[in-house]
Chain A
Amino acid sequence: MRRRFLALFLPPTLWLAAFMLVPTALVAAAAFSPDGFATLKDPLTLRMLGRSTWIALAATALCLAAGYPVAYFIAGCSPGRRNLLLFLVVLPFWTNLLVRTYALMFVLRPLEIESKVSLVVFALFHGYLPFMVLPLYASIEKLPRRLLEASQDLGASPAATFWKVTVPLTMPGIAAGCILVFIPVLGAFAIPEVISGGTVQLIGNQIDLHFGTTNTPAAGAMLTLVLMAATLLLTGLYFRSRKTEGLV
């Protein structure tokens, strides 16, 4: 018993230690230095975090607004149809993200949209939409039909049923989808770099600049820690929200 426990327990522990704890410790060691703390005090860091956060929020909101109806529709289809539609949702992943982004750039170019920030938000929305649809679908599909029928029998309008029954019951899917989109978008750097020609910098681009160009690893490491802290905070909020969801 004990041996079996060890056999199951050791590999993931070693894996986490080697590829998560050690790198994080190295990053922290680089960050906790005079240059790193200077970065923390730099007003640019706060502005950068603010900009990344609102761009990530905007992209996540767009994904939710577009992804919910899609997931709802797929969940209502016949099982065979569902599989086909889900396959189509994942199909973009067969192409490299950068290639898709370049392709999107050529599609958007004739529109001559002046606002680089709008372009970046749209491209992030476009790139991460599937991450929203899949957990939403999983959640909506599990929704017991009889609860919706009960709501209607008791006189609730379709809108009231949707807002008071469907949405609360699919909240775990909404939360999971939002987390899955928000976290990678918050640290995105390839899409903004390509789409804005380097003129809209998110925190990920600044990290890339510190490690890749200016050779200031302490500053880059500190920004990485800031980004990790933001991510941990959000994941923590998500797990707390899941605990309260346990009621239904």
Chain B
Amino acid sequence: MRRSLLALALLAGCSPDSKGSLELHVFNWGDYFAADTISNFEKETGCKVKVDEITSSEQLRSKLSRPPSGYDVAIVNDEILPGFIAQGLVEKLDLSKIPNLKNIQAKFRGLSFDPRNERSVPYMWGTTGLAYNKEKVTPAPDSWAALWDPKLAGKQTLLGDPREVFAAALWVTGGSPTALTPDAIDKAAAKLKELKPKAWTSTPKEQLGKGEALLSQSFNGDAVQAAKDGPVAFVIPKEGGTLWIDNLCIARGAKNVDLAHRFIDYILRPEVSAAITNEVFFAGPNEPAQKLVKKEVLENPMVYPSEADLKRCAFLAEPPADLKKKLLEAWAQVRGQ
């Protein structure tokens, strides 16, 4: 939310530079850069950077699937990146312009959807689970069913992302987000229609931190950010959680391809990557950055989950087209009811 205000302020304050300098358009998830990530890059290059907020994978897909989208750099999650690569919605990278790729840990390089990092470079990774107010939600929730707890009605928030929200409902109704069936989608949709959340938001940290929301479906880093302002904890429910990795990509039809490469290389610098992890509490894949990440962050299980927790998490793969359509139609019904 503060991020969107900031974006608005930037929009309002931006006037064409007299030198006619370049403007880089970045599409990123909310609260996902450090406070000085963009300003430092602007200072260094003399270019202007405009950041818009991604609110869901589907919104990101919708924007990028009709190039030119107006964006140069987009941060694309693993769920939809394979489709983007297959459809050529992200440009081929000139790796000679991204020497800092060497900083990425071997296990994060050449992931299954892009074996040679020709079109994507890993940015940050994390999990989706439940963030909750430790003082007001007792006993601590251990199941996605807590979102339906009548005591918390109107005090809970869910992500604005159809796949993530359906994942939670599928687990509660005995289905699984990795094994979709038409029946399971119907059941999950019916369950979701029972909900009256406080908000659908991908950045619940402010409401959580102030105690206005008591339970949120949340990305792990947002929960840690909220924990700075209030008694907030994060749990990966017993049914399972979502594992995801976000990737830096150049959108097809990008206007400033050179500058986009420069930006990606800048993000891969150890000090830049570490500063982001230290501030937004998402784990980075940058090897030399690990030495610069604060000890309390490295040892925080909310940022770097235990092996046992990670075992319960799975990536959300792209479902077959017909099921996907059904799920999205159900989503429109859930949101519009």
Contact = CB atoms under 8 A, between A and B. Distances in A.
B230 interface: no
Nearest to A196: B199
A114 interface: yes
Interface stretch (B23-31, B53-61, B266-274, B303-311): B53-61
A180 interface: no
A171 B8 CA distance: 39
Interface residues of A, number: 25
Contacts of B336: 44, 47-48, 201, 205-206, 209
Contacts of B160: 198
B327 to A, nearest CB: 9
Given A213-B56, A213-B58, A213-B62, A199 B197 contact: yes
Given A198-B160, A199-B198, A213 B59 contact: yes
Interface stretch (A75-83, A95-103, A141-149, A224-232): A95-103
- Most chain B CB neighbours (cut-off 10 Å) among A96, A102, A209, A210: A209
Contacts of B162: 213-214
Contacts, number: 74
- Dominant secondary structure at the A interface: helix
Contacts of B333: 44
B231 interface: no
A219 interface: yes
Given A197-B199, A201-B336, A214 B58 contact: yes
B149 interface: no
Interface string B200-214: 110000000000100
A174 B8 CA distance: 34
A102 B5 contact: yes
Nearest to B57: A213
Contacts of A102: 4-5, 8
Contact of B154 (A114, A213, A214): A114
B329 interface: yes
Interface string A157-172: 0000000000000000
Contact of B335 (A99, A109, A201, A216): A201
A96 B336 CA distance: 27
Contacts of A212: 58-59, 62-63
Contacts of B256: none
B212 to A, nearest CB: 8
A214 B65 contact: no
Interface in A185-222: 196-199, 201, 205-206, 209-216, 219
A6 B295 CA distance: 75
Contact of B199 (A47, A48, A199): A199
A198 B4 CA distance: 15
A212 B157 CA distance: 21
B328 A216 contact: yes
A2 B144 CA distance: 73
B225 to A, nearest CB: 18
Nearest to A44: B336
Given A96-B12, A102-B5, A197-B201, A214 B157 contact: no
6 contacts: A102-B8, A199-B196, A199-B199, A201-B335, A213-B62, A214-B331
Nearest 8 Cβ contacts at the A-B interface: A197-B199, A214-B328, A198-B200, A213-B58, A201-B336, A206-B336, A215-B62, A213-B59
Given A102-B5, A206-B335, 17 more contacts: A44-B333, A44-B337, A99-B12, A109-B212, A196-B199, A197-B197, A198-B160, A201-B336, A206-B332, A209-B332, A212-B58, A212-B62, A213-B56, A213-B328, A214-B162, A215-B65, A216-B328
Interface of A: 44, 47-48, 96, 98-99, 102, 109, 114, 196-199, 201, 205-206, 209-216, 219
